[in-house]
Amino acid sequence: MDDAKTITITINGKQVQTTEGRYLLEVCRENGVDIPTLCHHEAVSPAGACRLCAVEVGDGKGRSRIVASCIYPCWDGMVVETESPRAVGVRRLVLETLLARAPKVPVIRDLARRYGIRRPRFPLENHQCILCGLCVRVCSEVVGVHALSMQGRGAEKECGTPYLSGESTCIGCGACVYVCPTECIHMEDRDGVRTIWHEDAGVKTSVRQFKLKYCKVCGAPLGPEYQLEYIRKKVGLPEDFHDLCPGCRATGRRVAATT
């Protein structure tokens, strides 16, 4: 970018050079300032869903406000306080509500303990999913399959495949399982079948089974058939490409070259 302006911002009293418009969270982390997050992942666009990355941003003249740093673009001369009483207070409140919603999730318990929250003053629920939408973003932005979405709204908001059914465009890649911060999406490979499901408050939804494919020569697991087919079509690979694992394919090439 040619028109990107270099600016100076102050983070916790330290002057830092950066580019105008970059998101504050990134800049803070690059400069060794730790801000807790749950819904953030560098591979996908930020959403500002969990609100844990709240920091105080001022103009240096006494005016300041709380912003979600993951979706807040930097501007010249801004003064950022990540550990001010006000910022920490907001983060504590956010954690208190998250802990009330999902009291059994380890990552939330750890964060709550770090912020000195023992017991939320709100009634305890039994969720695992915190509706951060990270799985939805990974599925559409990284994988490009668009199998997941947030559905409904308000208190009835849910996360899953359309109609929460196993019938969807899902290819069984497990990217959502990998990124889910609260580990409420589960994956199990057993007897040649991969099962993926979303589990919240004891209810399993979007349950789907995938047949796994194995190397024809050595029998090494390759992945779910749907996923391999998706990759094959996207990259334009030959139809028998996924019959062999990478090792056996290389061996086959060597054998073919020597004979």
Partner 1 sequence: MEAMNPTTPSGCLCEDVDPILDRYGRDQGLLVSILQDIQEKYRYLPKEALERVSAALDVPMAQVYAVATFFKAFSLKPRGRHVVQVCMGTACHVRGAPLIRDKLERDLGVKNGETAADLSVTLESVNCVGACALGPVVVLDDEVQGHVTLTKVDALVKKVRS
Nearer to partner 1, 35 or 132 (CB): 132
Would you say the C-alpha torsion 53, 55, 57, 60 has a positive or negative sign? negative
Minimum CB distance to partner 1, residue 180 (Å): 17
Minimum CB distance to partner 1, residue 258 (Å): 48
DSSP 191-242: TTEEEEEEEETTEEEEEEEEEEEE-TTT--EEEEHHHHHHHHHHHT--TTGG
Nearer to partner 1, 144 or 219 (CB): 144
Distances 175 to 8, 137, 187, 230, 252 between C-alpha atoms, Å: 37, 10, 10, 14, 31
Nearer to partner 1, 136 or 173 (CB): 136
Nearer to partner 1, 64 or 161 (CB): 161
Minimum CB distance to partner 1, residue 146 (Å): 3
60: nearest Cα among 39, 49, 75, 73 = 75
Minimum CB distance to partner 1, residue 170 (Å): 10
User: How many angstroms separate the CA atoms of 166 and 11, rounded?
Assistant: 47
Nearer to partner 1, 31 or 151 (CB): 151
Binding site for partner 1 (CB under 8 A): 136, 139-140, 146-153, 161-166, 168-169
Minimum CB distance to partner 1, residue 153 (Å): 5
